[in-house]
Amino acid sequence: MAKKAKKSKTKVKAKSKAASKKVVKLKAKKPAATAKAGNGLPKPSSRPYGAAGKALDGVKILDFTHVQSGPTCTQLLAYMGADCIKVERPGVGDITRGQLRDVKGADSLYFTMLNGNKRSITIDSKHPKGKEILERLIKHCDVLVENFAPGALDRMGLTWDYIHKTNPRMIVASVKGFGPGPYEDCKVYENVAQCTGGAASTTGFREGPPLVTGAQIGDSGTGLHLAFGICAALYQRTRTGRGQKVFAAMQDGVLNLARVKLRDQQRLAHGPLTEYSQYGEGIPFGSATPRAGNDSGGGQPGWILKCKGWESDPDAYIYFITQAPVWEAICDLIGKPEWKTDPDYAKPPARLPRLKSIFATIEEWTKTKTKFEVMDICNQHDIPVGPILSMKEIAEEKSLRDTGTVVEVDHPTRGKYLTVGNPVKMSDSVTEVKRSPLLGEHTEEILTKVLGYSAKELEEIKTSGAITPPDKPAKAEAA
Ligand code: COA
């Protein structure tokens, strides 16, 4: 047997020798005229992975964003290596600097957790000198990102025509609440988007009111969509040489994340949604996708079940999925081996009308274990479950710290704080998370080193009032 194996190994070796000869021959051939070698790309870098710079090195962002949706987008781009120059109103800055303040006199966590890895310059964009500085920034940067209220950028004089004329390569990326239509002029915040994008009407319990979710799918979700659009536009620009408008409406972003509910809306025309527990309970469906409580969305029945300690710990729960292939393992675990063959329980369709009592029985078992014990036991049998992790548990989770998803950074006025690092991990573009900038921290640096103003010009700018706060504090400071 061993001899045989040796023989076949020699054969393989001989074969691969022949193959490599062939490769050498192919290499020597002149590349076809139509297929450029390497598709026009540079030679693969010989630097070790992670040492060849970052994905967006060299991309310069004129970051005109505020609150959450826009800053989420530009923070992600900054994590990827883009130089984000955040323009803020002198003396006020992004309104979130002062919102939900937990440390007196220091920038709030709302601001610091959304503006890491950026530089801050203060410019009054309505001041003539401020406009001149902005023009230089437009010429210098690749992308302008903004999420002002509809029309605000135009009112500053920064229309698409003006920007495109000043720098035809500039990409202008915007978040607004709605796309063109009846609501296009409306100001929009997170929960408005959740409600108008189809998330709220499909979240919550059937017998209760619509519910918004804690995950900021309207703001951060749309920021993420915009970042994707910007990267695509940057790539297209390598062929066309010109910029374009990139637009993400919060309603559209939420709908994109809620698309399975629009799927269900259409399925309703062909009969009830059998995986919804409402079906098993014999409650008729209306004309629109209903709220499904904690039903599992993927057609694999699931529910949130109590675990040991639920009486005092609001997060002592686990999400439990009764996936068909592991049904027998579930029956054994919960002490119901007879369900494996009982025609009322053995097959998924038979279980649908009984889901409520099935989950109640499983819960009798989960209540005897902590959520982490349930997780450990179930995973040994490939049963998909998810412990309900509190934010406290997530903040303390070692593996999230190890991967850089939760990062501690130091800040000169507020001290150490936790932030969320880059949720996208790349093998050749390693993210180093840096603290958020103080208001106007980089104003002089950007004016002189990036935009080339002389020391004399800098003094003139300083006295012009374009980068300094007006005498009276602006209204927004009180917020
Ligand atoms: N210098 C001078 N003026 C500045 C400035 C600067 N550096 N930065 C902003 N401003 C001005 C704007 O020009 C605008 O003035 P105008 O109304 O006279 O044109 C003003 O500040 C307020 O901007 P606005 O965007 O209207 O802020 P707001 O606090 O009233 O509204 C939102 C906030 C979020 C509701 C609104 O910006 C919006 O709907 N944005 C789009 C959707 C969105 O992103 N929502 C989610 C936010 S998380």
In tens, the pLDDT along 224-256 reads 999 999 999 999 999 999 999 999 999 999 999
Cα distance between residue 399 and residue 403, in whole Å: 6
pLDDT band at 29 (very low <50, low <70, confident <90, very high): low
Instruction: Look at the block and give the residue holding tokens 């080193």.
Output: 449
Instruction: Report whether residue 187 contacts ligand 1, using a CB cutoff of 6 Å.
Output: yes
In tens, the pLDDT along 320-356 reads 999 999 999 999 999 999 999 999 999 998 998 899 9
Residue 219 is among the residues annotated as catalytic for this protein: yes
Atom 13 of ligand 1, nearest CA residue: 152
Which segments of 322-377 are extended strands (E)? none
- Would you say the C-alpha torsion 343, 345, 349, 354 has a positive or negative sign? positive
Instruction: Report whether residue 177 contacts ligand 1, using a CB cutoff of 6 Å.
Output: yes
In tens, the pLDDT along 149-203 reads 999 999 999 999 999 999 999 999 999 999 999 999 999 999 999 999 999 999 9
Cα distance between residue 471 and residue 476, in whole Å: 14
For the CA of 153, the closest atom of ligand 1 is 13
For the CA of 219, the closest atom of ligand 1 is 48
Mean pLDDT of 426-445: 98
CA of 66 to the centre of ligand 1 (A): 8
Options 124, 142, 219, 252, the catalytic residue: 219
Element holding 162 (H helix, E strand): helix 160-166
Q: Taking all residues of the chain, what is their mean pLDDT, rounded to a whole number? A: 91
Helix, strand, coil share of the chain (percent; to 5): 45, 10, 45
**What local confidence, expressed as pLDDT, does residue 36 receive?**
63
Atom 16 of ligand 1, nearest CA residue: 152
Is the separation of the CB atoms in 252 and 184 below 8 Å? no
pLDDT band at 38 (very low <50, low <70, confident <90, very high): confident
Please name the residue ranges forming H helices in 167-209.
Answer: 190-196
Among 23, 164, 86, 115, which residue's Cα sits nearest to residue 414? 115
Tokens read off for 235: 């790539």
Q: Is the per-residue pLDDT at 451 higher than 80?
A: yes
CA of 67 to the centre of ligand 1 (A): 9
**What local confidence, expressed as pLDDT, does residue 27 receive?**
52
Tokens read off for 247: 């637009």
Cα distance between residue 55 and residue 471, in whole Å: 43
**What local confidence, expressed as pLDDT, does residue 20 receive?**
42
* Ligand 1 pocket mutation pick from 144, 148, 225, 467 by most atoms within 8 angstroms of CB: 148
**What local confidence, expressed as pLDDT, does residue 458 receive?**
97
Q: pTM for the full model?
A: 0.90
CA of 84 to the centre of ligand 1 (A): 19
